[in-house]
């Protein structure tokens, strides 16, 4: 699961607002889409997508009506949108062994707990400010990482990136 930005100006296109866009690398006018993809040794495919609507949009029902956004569409965070898509994919029988995502999703404890309740393996980035459960106690990620000795780390390739190797 991941999101991407589409730079766009205007007041009538659904979801357009000043918001952070990884595409631009800054806060910019645009739309944000949240996407769910599937990858295996046989290839990859886009499974699902949701348009992220900033809270200002969902609070302005007249604007939503003008953009043909259903009246019952509530505000949802990017992790909430990702969870909805995951639920649909899993209910459809998608044989996902792992769920992956960046810190937008990893820093959301509700999503991590839901994945654990589903007994679904995941690899989600988490920021140093986030807490994770180690044993029975929550600990800050920075503290967990600081406790790992240098010989406890292995450098691995995440494949080639647009700017060179990703380690």
Give tens-digit pLDDT for 25-38. 899 999 999 999 99
pLDDT of residue 104: 95
Of the two residues 164 and 7, the one the predictor is more confident about is 7
Q: Which residues contact 117 (CB under 8 A, 6 or more apart)?
A: none
pLDDT of residue 129: 86
Strands 26-40 and 121-124 turn out to be unpaired
pLDDT of residue 11: 80
pLDDT over 90 percentage in the chain? 73
Is pLDDT at 46 greater than 90 in this prediction? yes
pLDDT of residue 27: 93
pLDDT (tens digit, 9 = 90+) per residue, 115-126? 999 999 999 999
The domain ranges of the chain are 1-95, 97-152
pLDDT of residue 73: 92
């Amino acid at each position: 699961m991941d999101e991407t930005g589409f730079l766009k100006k205007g007041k009538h296109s659904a979801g357009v607002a000043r918001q952070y866009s990884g595409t631009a690398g800054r806060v910019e006018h645009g739309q944000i889409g949240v996407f769910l993809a599937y990858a295996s040794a046989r290839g990859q495919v886009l499974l699902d997508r949701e348009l992220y609507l900033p809270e200002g949009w969902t609070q302005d029902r007249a604007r939503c009506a003008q953009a043909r956004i259903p009246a019952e569409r509530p505000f949802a965070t990017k992790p909430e949108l990702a969870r909805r898509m995951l639920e649909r994919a899993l209910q459809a029988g998608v044989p996902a062994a792992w769920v992956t995502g960046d810190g937008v999703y990893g820093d959301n404890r509700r999503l991590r707990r839901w994945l654990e309740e589903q007994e679904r393996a995941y690899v989600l980035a988490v920021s140093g400010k986030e807490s994770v459960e180690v044993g029975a106690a929550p600990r800050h990620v920075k503290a967990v990482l600081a406790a790992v000795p240098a010989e406890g780390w292995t450098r691995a390739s995440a494949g080639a990136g647009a700017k060179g190797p990703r380690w």
